[in-house]
Amino acid sequence: LAVKDPTAVERANLLNMAKLSIKGLIESALSFGRTLDSDYPPLQQFFVVMEHCLKHGLKVRKSFLSYNKTIWGPLELVEKLYPEAEEIAASVRDLPGLKTPLGRARAWLRLALMQKKMADYLRCLIIQRDLLSEFYEYHALMMEEEGAVIVGLLVGLNVIDANLCVKGEDLDSQVGVIDFSMYLKSDDDIGGKERDVQIAAILDQKNYVEELNRQLNSTVSSLHARVDSLEKSNTKLIEELAIAKNNIIKLQEENHQLRSENTLILMKTQNHLEATKVDVEAELQTYKHSRQGLDEMYNEAHRQLREESQLRQDMENELVVQVSMKHEIELAMKLLEKDIHEKQDTLIGLRQQLDEVKAINMEMYQKLQVSEDAMKEKNEIIGRLEDKTSQINATMKQLEQRLQQAEKAQMEAEAEDEKLKQEYVNKTESLQKEFSQKEKQLLQLETDLKIEKEWRQALEDDLQKEKETVSHLRIETQEIIILKKDFLKLQEKNKQLKRICQDQEAALQELASKLSESKLKIEDIKEANKALQGQVWLKDKEATHCKLCEKEFSLSKRKHHCRNCGEIFCNACSDNELPLPSSPKPVRVCDSCHAILIQRCSSNVP
C-alpha cells in the first residue's frame, strides 16, 4: 500500500471540519434566529476550527526569549493588501485587554465576521502566495487549494448576523479544542428537511436583498464620484478657459509684436537689399569699365609688343643683311685691293651691289628713321670705298647701339608689360575677391530671407494652431454657456414649481382652515336652527326698520332676511360673510344665528 502524505491528510481533515462547522453554524443560526452572540457554541467551535486552519503549516519565528508561532502576522498583512481592513487592524491594536498576538488574531476574526468580509480579506491574502510564503510552509493549508475552498465556504456566512462583544472578553487565555459531538447526526436533523428548504429560500431572499443593497450602494458611490469628477472637471474647464483666454490675449499681443517686428525686419532687409543692389550694380559697372580699360590697355600693350617684336625681327634681319654686306664688302675690298685696276667687271658688280645696298638702305630708312642718316652717308660715300668702310663701321656701331637701345626698350616694355599684367592680375584678384564677398553677402541675405520666411511660416502655422485651439475653446465655452443656460432654466423651473407647490400648499392650508371654520359655523347654525324651530318669520309690511340699527329700510338699506330666526337686517348691519365651496361669492350671515340671509325687496322698492 502507498503511504499517504500526512500533511495532505491534515489538510483534508481540516477542510472537512471547516465544512462541517460552517454548515452547522449556518443551520443552527437559521433555526436560532440568525443573530448570534459570543456565547453561542457553534460560533465558538467555528472560530476554533478557523484558528486550526490558519495555524496549519505556520513557520516558527525566532524571538529574543523564545520561538514564536502565531497567526497574527499574516492577518496583519491584510491591511496592506485590502485598504478597508485598516479599520479592523487599528481597532484590534487599540483594544486594552489584549496582550498576546493570538488574542489579537482572535479579535480580528470576530470583527471580520461581524463585518461580513472575512471571505474577502482571506481571498486577498491567498492570492498573494509570495507574501504568504514568509509565514507558511509550502505544504500549508493556506498555500494549497484547500485554502481557496475554505474561502469559498466562508462566503455563506454572510447570511449570519453576529453581535459579538470583543472588548471585555478574555481572548488571550482561551483553549482551542474542537468538540466533535456537535457534528454527529441525530434523528431531529433527519426530520427537518422541509424547514431547511424554507430556511434556504429565506436565505436566498436575504442574499438577494443584500446583493441588491450592495449594488445600489456601489451605484450611489459611483454616482457621487461621477458628480465630484464632473464638478472638478467643470472647475478645471473654467480655469483652463480663463488660462486659455489669458494665453490667447498674450498670443495676440505677441502676434502683434511679431508682426510689427516682421514688418520692421522686412523694411530693413528691403532697404539693405536695395542698397546692396545699388552697390553691386555700381561695382559691376566700375568693374566693367575697369575691365574694358584693362582690355584696351592689354590690347594696346599686346599690339605694341607685336610691333616691337616685328621691329626686332626686322632689325635682326637687317643686322644679318648688314653682317653679310660687311663680309661681302670686306671681300670686295680685298678683291678691289688686289684687282682695282684689273677687273672692272667686279666694279660693276660692286656698283650693282651698292645699288642693292642703297635700295636696302632706302627700305631700312623707310622702316627706321634713325637709320636714314647712315644710308645717306653710305650713298654719298659710294665713290670712295675706304671712307665707306669706315662709315660702314660707324654705322655698324650705331646699329649695335640702336639694337642695344631697342633691346633695352623691349626689356622695359616687357617689364612694363609684366607690371601691367601683375597689376591686372592683382586688380582682377581683388575684384574677384570683392565679387566673391558680394556673392557671399547675397547668399547670406538669401539664406536670412529663407530663414525669415520659414520662421514666418512657422509663426503663421503656430498662429493657425492657436486659432484652431481658440475656436475649439470657444465652441466648448459656448457649449458650457448653453449648459449653464439650460441649468439656470431648470433651476428657474424648479423654483417656479416650488413656488407653485408652496402656493398650492398655502391655498390648501387656507382652504382647510376656512373649511374648518365653515364646518364650525354650520354646526352653530344647526344648533341655532334647532333652538329656533317653531318661530315665525316677520312679514315684510310689518318690518319697516332694521333690527340692529333701527333705521328705516330704503334703496341704500335693503332688507336681508334670516332663514332660521326670521330676523330682518339691513345690508349695512349684515356684514358677516362666509365663503362656501358651492358658490363663487361669499354669502351674508345672520349676526344672531349665523344663518344665510336672503335679500328681499322692500315695500317701497319696485
Q: Which domain holds residue 555?
A: 547-605
Alpha-carbon distance of 301 to 180, in angstroms, equals: 140
Alpha-carbon distance of 80 to 307, in angstroms, equals: 115
Q: What is the pLDDT of residue 604?
A: 37
197 assigned to some structural domain: no
Mean of per-residue pLDDT scores for the chain? 79
- Contact between 557 and 572 (Cβ < 8 Å): yes
Burial label, 108 (beta-carbon count in 10 A; 0-12, 13-18, 19+):
buried
Q: Are strands 559-562 and 568-570 parallel, antiparallel or unpaired?
A: antiparallel
Please give the grid coordinates belonging to residue 404: 642695344
- Name the most confidently modeled range: 111-120, 280-289, 584-593: 111-120
**Does residue 186 register a pLDDT over 70?**
no
593 assigned to some structural domain: yes
Percentage of the chain lying above the pLDDT 90 cut: 1
Percentage of the chain lying above the pLDDT 70 cut: 79
Q: What is the pLDDT of residue 327?
A: 84
The residue from 133, 168, 183 where one domain ends is 183
pLDDT grade for 1, boundaries at 50, 70 and 90: very low
Helices (H) and strands (E) in the chain, counts: 14, 9
Name the residue among 521, 577, 572 with its Cα closest to residue 549. Answer: 572
User: Model confidence over 43-90: pLDDT tens digits?
Assistant: 888 888 888 888 888 887 655 544 456 788 888 888 888 888 888 888
User: Model confidence over 475-516: pLDDT tens digits?
Assistant: 888 888 888 888 888 888 888 888 888 888 888 888 888 888
pTM above 0.85, yes or no: no
559 assigned to some structural domain: yes
The residue from 161, 183, 205 where one domain ends is 183
User: Model confidence over 23-49: pLDDT tens digits?
Assistant: 888 888 877 765 777 778 888 888 888
**Does residue 472 register a pLDDT over 60?**
yes
User: Model confidence over 214-265: pLDDT tens digits?
Assistant: 888 888 888 988 898 898 988 889 998 999 889 899 999 988 889 898 889 9
pLDDT grade for 600, boundaries at 50, 70 and 90: very low
Q: For residue 493, which amino acid is it?
A: K
Mean pLDDT of 308-314: 86
**Does residue 372 register a pLDDT over 80?**
no
Domain CATH code at residue 584: 3.30.40.10
Domain CATH code at residue 161: 1.20.58.900
511 assigned to some structural domain: no
* Range of weakest confidence among 413-417, 540-544, 588-592: 588-592
Identify the helix (H) or strand (E) that includes residue 162. Answer: strand 161-162
The residue from 183, 204, 237 where one domain ends is 183
Mean pLDDT of 115-119: 88
399 assigned to some structural domain: no
Cβ contacts of residue 332 below 8 Å, gap of 6+?
Answer: 346, 350, 353, 385
Alpha-carbon distance of 283 to 387, in angstroms, equals: 67
Q: What is the pLDDT of residue 2?
A: 44
**Does residue 330 register a pLDDT over 60?**
yes
Q: Give the DSSP letter of residue 535.
A: -
328 assigned to some structural domain: no
**Does residue 381 register a pLDDT over 70?**
no
176 assigned to some structural domain: yes
CA atoms within 13 A on the CB side of 93: 10
Q: H helices of 33-144, where?
A: 41-55, 72-76, 78-81, 86-94, 101-115, 118-127, 129-132
Higher pLDDT: 447 or 205? It is 447
> How many domains, the chain?
2
- Contact between 58 and 71 (Cβ < 8 Å): yes
User: Model confidence over 445-462: pLDDT tens digits?
Assistant: 888 888 988 888 888 888
pLDDT grade for 606, boundaries at 50, 70 and 90: very low
User: Model confidence over 141-153: pLDDT tens digits?
Assistant: 888 888 899 999 8
User: Model confidence over 169-184: pLDDT tens digits?
Assistant: 778 777 777 777 776 6
Mean pLDDT of 420-445: 81
429 assigned to some structural domain: no
